[in-house]
Chain A
Amino acid sequence: MTLRGIFLTFYCLFLALGTWWIVRQQKLAVPEFVASRDLRLDHWLREGDVKSASWVAEKVAALANGPNPNSFVGRYVTGDVPKGATLRLEATSAVPLMAPRDGHLTLLVTLPRARLGTLNAASCVQLSARDSKPFGVRAILCPLSDVADCSAAIDVPLERLSEIGKPTSETGKPPATLTVNAEAPCP
C-alpha cells in the first residue's frame, strides 16, 4: 500500500469519526426546537410554527421516539418568542394565560372552523360589519375534534362594550350568540 493510500485511508476514517461524533453529540443533547416565525403570548401552536433546531436533531428525535415539532401542536406560548428562538416543550402551556388587563374585558365568542384561517393571538377580528374598529384576539381555543367550532377570546375595551350588545339591523334585537364575522387587519 502506498503512503498516499495510507494517508487517504486515515483521513477518510477521521471524517467518518468526526461525523459520528457530531451525530452522537446530538443524540446525547436535549432535543432543541426553534420558532419558525414570531410567536406572541398565548399563540395557539399549529403545525409549522415550531421546527427542529437541526436536521440531525430531527432525525435523532424521530429515531429516539422523543418529542418532535408536532408535540407542540395545540399548546400555547407563555411569552413573546421571536423567530429562531429556542422553544422547549416545558415552557409552553396547555391553556392560554390571558392575564387580566385594566379597563379591558375578555369575551369568548364563537369561531366557526371555516373562519379559523390563520387567526391566532394578536390577530384582529370583526364581530359584525358595523364594528367601528376590529377587536384584538387574545387567544384561540379549539377542541381536538376537527368538526367542532372553536372559540376566540377577544379583548374588548370597556368603552367599546356597548357595541357588543347592539341590536342588529335585520332583527332589531341583540344577537343571540357572538360570532367572529371575519379576520380584519389590526389598526
Chain B
Amino acid sequence: MVGLFTQALAAFQGFFSRGFWFGSFLPVAMFAAVNLFLAWLSGFDWAAQAISDAKTTNWAWAVPLAAALIVLAYALAPLVPVCRAILDGSRLPTQVFEWLRGEAYDRRNAAYARLMETGQYQLRTNKLRALIRIRLPAARQVGNALGVANLKTSVWFAALAVRFLERRVASGNLPNRLTLWIVVGAAAFALNTNAAAQSGILGGLEGRILDALDKADENAGDRFQRLLQQHNKLPPEPQPTRAGEARNLSELYSRRVYDVEFAFIWPRVQMVIKDDDPSTKRIEAARALADFSVLSLMLAVATLVVWLPLLALTQKEPWSFLGLGIAGPLLVRFFYQLVVESQISLGEAAQGIVDRFRFDVLKMLHIKPPATLAAEREIWSTMAAVARGERPAGDVVWTVPPT
C-alpha cells in the first residue's frame, strides 16, 4: 500500500525539479509527520484514526495526501527567500537590525580585547619577575638573619601556593593577576619570617616561581595564536546574524575581486551555464540544501508557535508541553546552524562559478574580454553602475557593435 503513495509521487515527479523535491517537499512531508504525531499526542481523534489507518492497510488517503503535500510545498516555496532575508537580517526592522548588529560589534570588540589582553600577558609577568628578583632575596636575607623557623604555617602556605601555580601552568592555564600576587606575597612572607636554612621547603622557591612564569608565558603565546586565528575568522563587517555574516562573506568575494555586486553578476552567470554542465548540479544541490534548511527552520518555528499553546490548553499533564518546549528550540537551533552552513557552502560554490563563467557572461553581453584584472574590474563596475541607473565613469567596448 505504500506503493500508492510512491505512485502518486512518481506521477508528479516529472513536473518538478530535484531541488523542489529536496528543498521544498521533503521539509513539508517531514513536518506533516511531526504535526500528526503532536495531534495524536494532544488527543485529536482524527490523528489517532490516521495513525491507525497507516498501521493497517487502509492507505486510501495516500494519493490526496501526497497531492496536498505537494501543493503545500509549492505554495511555501516562494516564502523561502523572504524567510532567508529575515534570517540574514536584511528584512528585519531597522531597530532590531541595529540592535543585533551592535551585539555583533560587541562580540568582535570583546574578542579583540581578549586577544590584546593575552598579548600583553608577558608584560605583566615581566614586572612580576623584576619584583621577585629584588623582593625575594631581600626577604630571604631577613629570614636568615632570624636564624629560626618562626612561622611554619606560612612556610606550608607558600609551598602550597607555589605548587598550585605550577599545576595551573602545567595544565596549560594562564594564572590570573590575583593568583600571581598571592603566590609571590606568600613566598615573600614565608622567607621574611623564617630562616630558609631551617625550612628546607623554602629552598629554590624563587627559581620555581620564575620557571612557572616562563611556562605561563608559553601558554599565553599558544592562547594568543589561537585567539588570533579565531579573531581573523570573524567577519570584517559584522552583520546582525550569523546567517547574514555567511551570506555577506560569500557576496563580498565578487565585490573585492572583480568590483561587481554579487546581485548583479550572479543571475547573469546562471544564464550562461549549460544544463549538462556539472556546475549546474553543484548549484542545484547547494541551493536545495539551503532551501531545505530555511524551510525546515520556518516549519519548526511554526510548529512551536502553534503547538505549544495548544498543548498547554489541551493536555492534562505537562510532559508533552515541556518536552516540546525543550526539544523544539534545540531543533530550531539545529536547523539554524544548517542554514548558516548551507549558506557558506552555497557561497563557496557561487564563488567558483563566478570565477569560471564570468568571461562567458562578457561573451553573452558582446563585451570585449579585458586584458587585465583592472580592466575587467572597470567593465563590471561600469555595467553595475548602469544597472543601478547611475552615470558610469567609463565605457565598455562591444565585440560586435550593436546595429
Contact = CB atoms under 8 A, between A and B. Distances in A.
A114 B326 CA distance: 52
Given A26-B316, A56-B317, A19 B322 contact: yes
B384 to A, nearest CB: 34
A3 interface: yes
Interface in A93-140: none
B321 interface: yes
Contacts of B316: 22, 25-26, 29, 53-54, 56-57
B105 to A, nearest CB: 12
Nearest to B308: A18
B103 interface: yes
Interface of B: 96, 99-100, 103, 308-309, 311-313, 315-319, 321-322, 325-326, 329
A11 interface: yes
B322 A3 contact: no
Nearest to A7: B329
A86 B321 CA distance: 23
Nearest to B313: A21
A23 B317 CA distance: 7
Nearest to A19: B318
A19 B322 CA distance: 7
Given A18-B318, A22-B317, A54-B317, A3 B312 contact: no
Contacts of A23: 318
Contact of A18 (B96, B103, B317, B325): B325
A171 to B, nearest CB: 61
Contact of A3 (B100, B311, B318, B325): B100
A10 to B, nearest CB: 12
Interface of A: 2-4, 11, 14-15, 18-19, 21-23, 25-26, 29, 53-57
Given A18-B321, A19-B322, A22-B312, 13 more contacts: A3-B99, A3-B100, A3-B103, A15-B322, A18-B311, A18-B325, A19-B318, A19-B321, A22-B316, A22-B317, A23-B318, A29-B316, A54-B317
Nearest to B309: A18
Contacts of B100: 3
Most buried by B among A4, A22, A54: A22
B308 A14 contact: yes
Nearest to A8: B329
A57 B96 CA distance: 44
A31 to B, nearest CB: 11
| Most chain A CB neighbours (cut-off 10 Å) among B308, B313, B315 | B315
Nearest to B316: A54
Task: Kindly list the 7 A-B residue pairs having the minimum CB-CB distance in the complex, ordered from nearest.
Answer: A18-B312, A19-B318, A15-B325, A54-B316, A22-B318, A54-B317, A56-B317
Contacts of A53: 316
A19 B313 CA distance: 10
B329 A11 contact: yes
21 contacts: A3-B96, A3-B99, A3-B100, A3-B103, A4-B103, A11-B329, A15-B321, A15-B322, A15-B325, A18-B308, A18-B309, A18-B321, A19-B321, A22-B318, A22-B321, A29-B316, A53-B316, A54-B317, A55-B317, A55-B319, A57-B316
